Amino acid sequence: MGTTVADTVIDALLAEGVERVYGVPGDAINALLDSIRRRSERIRFILTRHEETAALTAAYEAKLTGRLAACVGTGGPGAIHLLNGLYEAKMEGVPVLALTGQVALPMIGTDYFQEVDLVRLFDDVTVFNQMLVTPESAGLVVERAIRAARTEGGVAHLNLPEDLARAPSNHGFRASPINYAQACAVPSSAQIRTARERIAQGQRIVLLVGKGARAARSEVVELAERLRAPIVKTLHGKDLLADDHPMALGGVGLLGTRPAQDALEQADTLLMVGTSYPYTQFLPTHAQVIQIDRSPEQIGKRYPVDVALVGDAQETLRALLSGVPPRTDESFLAAGQRAMAKWRAAQAAAEGDTSTPIRPQRVARELARAVGPTGVVSVDVGTVTVWMARNFPVSDGQRLLFSGWLATMGSGLPGAMAAQWVHPDRRVAAAVGDGGFAMTLTDFVTAVRYQLPIVVVVFNNGKLAFIQFEEEVEGFPDYGTDLVNADYAAWARACGGVGYTVRDPAQLAPTLDRAFADRRPTVVDVFTRPDERPMPPHVTLSQAAGFAKSLLREKFFP
């Protein structure tokens, strides 16, 4: 039973099953913190060293569990720091509750110390956004916030004036969780029949699967096998199916594989399942398109669709499967598989290369082995994303986490911390660039404090390499991308963790093995080849021309 408005808020989180609130305390939210303290056997305050880490960790926790995660920041600066992590949650469509402080009610509008109009500031990032104004309505408003975050998949923000948080409340938050029964949409039998007819006309069928197909893995595989149709995965769909599965042709787009792109270019029928893949230039231009998505809003959003199937991926695929005749023509699939064998052999050459400096492809492959069959890896943003997408041969049982939509640097470490909280017994790593790691490395000390045995693998190329590459293909000379880095292994040790520096390729595998075996927070700082370019599977003429122009301008016409 709540006794203050702050208690009402925290009791609502308890009823929702929230186990942790990430954040940094401060004047305006002290009552909230005290409320957590008095319930600390059931809910924990996790002190991060930066609110961005708090919000990113909450967003990744929600990505992993699908349930509500929570973060807190004080009024003004603390709340402002949350924003980037909240956008991560918004763009991934996952439920996060952000609690922020505010000046006391009598001070609102007086241009007071730390007074920032947070409801206005958070307008774009939220699905629910409200200042609490009286104890009488607080319970109801909190419940609305949680319900909105859960049912709409997004960020709810509650702004608590300091005096109101401490005010007595007689709203006893009910102890049972909010009921989220959702309609389970399945397309009509007529729509399913149309889809089956279209599929039956296809000669070169490709399945493009995204994160919305996660629960429908076996149906996806069964349909692909029945149709002898290769499966291409989006980045968020990478860990949906092992990379060595015979039906898999790897990833789509710039981060993907050549066989996947070839198959998409030649396809006459594209079946999209649970994806809103944004780079439509990589999708076929002359194919009939069938799209399955639980949200009608997603269907045809970026790309014209011939048959729209609004429904749960698993149910819809089951309905399709019950009447799709098997195809016997193997030729399209077999061509893809042959191309894949070639692509893999070419990648294996880089992955197995023992030269110095260490090739980043090799780091990705060794990490896939060392993290083990149930490992979870949170991947930061940069060329490191490309190596992890292409050269980390994901197996069934492993999990990869990406900041796929916001693509925010600095997400690797918070994502790993979230994964280790959610899965204390699994091996968890972060794969980060030297640029991305620097953005949140303050919170490595948080991993030490809470004894999270994550292994942060730094792909240290001394560059913001992805931007160098972008500049080059756009025809600009390389500018503003050189990094002067701290010693990241020394930083890990300074935090009370373990730190290794790896320059010798022979030391890579044994160091990773030791790091995971030790079960202590560790940084493995691997010096990688600075001039390794993440060439796309197909280089376009304009990319090649831009590259040539950039090199010329760098060398001759600076």
Q: Looking at the annotation, which residues are catalytic?
A: 51, 113-114, 381, 466
Spatial CB neighbours of 490, under 8 Å, sequence gap ≥ 6:
499
467 binding ligand TPP? (CB under 6 A): yes
Using CB atoms within 10 Å of the CB of residue 303, give its burial: 0 to 12 exposed, 13 to 18 middle, 19+ buried.
Answer: middle
Name which position in 48, 288, 408, 440 contacts ligand TPP (CB under 6 A).
408
> Residue with structure tokens 């149910």?
315
Binding span for ligand TPP by CB under 6 A among 184-192, 378-386, 416-424, 443-451: 378-386
The entry of ligand TPP, Mg ion, none that residue 466 binds, CB within 5 to 8 Å by partner kind: ligand TPP
Stretch that binds Mg ion, among 119-127, 407-415, 461-469, 537-545 (CB under 5 A): 461-469
Residue type, 507: Q
**Residue 436 interacting with ligand TPP (CB under 6 A):** yes
- CB 219 to ligand TPP: min, Å: 34
435 binds ligand TPP per the rule CB under 6 A: yes
The reply on whether position 87 binds ligand TPP by CB under 6 A is: no
Name the residue nearer to ligand TPP (CB basis): 426 or 533.
533
Min separation Cβ 501 and ligand TPP, Å: 16
Residue 125: CB atoms within 10 A of its CB come to 23
Residue with Cβ nearer ligand TPP (212 or 433): 433
Please state the closest distance from residue 364 (CB atom) to ligand TPP, in A: 11
Nearest Cα to Cα of residue 2 among 48, 28, 39, 27: 39
Region binding ligand TPP by CB under 6 A among candidate stretches 17-25, 49-57, 201-209, 406-414: 406-414
Residue 441 carries which DSSP code? G
Question: What are φ and ψ of residue 502, in 5° steps?
Answer: -120, 120
Does the CA dihedral 503-509-511-512 come out positive or negative?
Answer: positive
Q: Identify what 59 binds: ligand TPP, Mg ion, none; CB under 5 to 8 Å per kind.
A: none
Q: Is 391 near ligand TPP (CB under 6 A)?
A: no
Q: Is 346 helix (H, G, I), strand (E, B) or coil?
A: helix
Q: Which stretch binds ligand TPP (CB under 6 A): 332-340, 422-430, 458-466, 544-552?
A: 458-466
- Residue 336 contacts residue 262 (beta carbons within 8 Å): yes
> Of 35, 191, 288, 461, which lies in the binding site for Mg ion, with binding defined by CB under 5 A?
461
Burial of 539 (0-12, 13-18, 19+ CB in 10 A): exposed
CB 249 within 8 A of CB 270: no
Which residues in the 414-433 window bind Mg ion by CB under 5 A?
Answer: 433
Alpha-helix runs per DSSP H in 17-172: 30-37, 51-65, 77-92, 118-121, 135-152, 162-166
Locate 186 and state its tokens. 């399945």
Quickly count: other Cβ atoms within 10 Å of residue 302's Cβ. 12
What tokens were used for 489? Answer: 């292994």
Contacted by 282, from ligand TPP, Mg ion, none: CB < 5 to 8 Å by type = none
Distance CA 382, CA 361 (A): 14
Is position 409 an interface residue for ligand TPP (rule: CB under 6 A)? Answer: yes
Give the nearest distance from C-beta 4 to Mg ion in angstroms: 48
Instruction: Give whichever of 293 and 478 is closer to ligand TPP, judged by the CB atom.
Output: 478
558: buried, middle or exposed (CB in 10 Å: 19+, 13-18, 0-12)?
Answer: exposed
Q: How far apart are CA 95 and CA 66, in angstroms?
A: 7
The answer to the question of residue 381 lying near ligand TPP (CB under 6 A) is yes
**Residues near 295 by Cβ (< 8 Å), separated by ≥ 6?**
310
- Closest distance to ligand TPP from the beta carbon of 467 (Å): 5
Binding of ligand TPP at residue 527 (CB under 6 A)? no
**Which one, 434 or 525, has the nearer CB to ligand TPP?**
434
Part in contact with ligand TPP (CB under 6 A); list of ranges 40-48, 233-241, 249-257, 464-472: 464-472
**384, interface contact from Mg ion, ligand TPP, none, CB < 5-8 Å by kind:** ligand TPP
CB of 478 to ligand TPP, least distance (A): 12
Q: Which amino acid is at 511?
A: T
Residue 85 is a binding residue for ligand TPP (CB under 6 A)? no
Residue 441 Cβ vs Mg ion, minimum distance, rounded to whole Å: 13
Closest CA to 9 of 188, 191, 187, 131: 131
Positions that interact with ligand TPP (CB under 6 A): 380-384, 407-410, 433-436, 459, 461, 463-467
Positions that interact with Mg ion (CB under 5 A): 433-435, 461, 463, 465
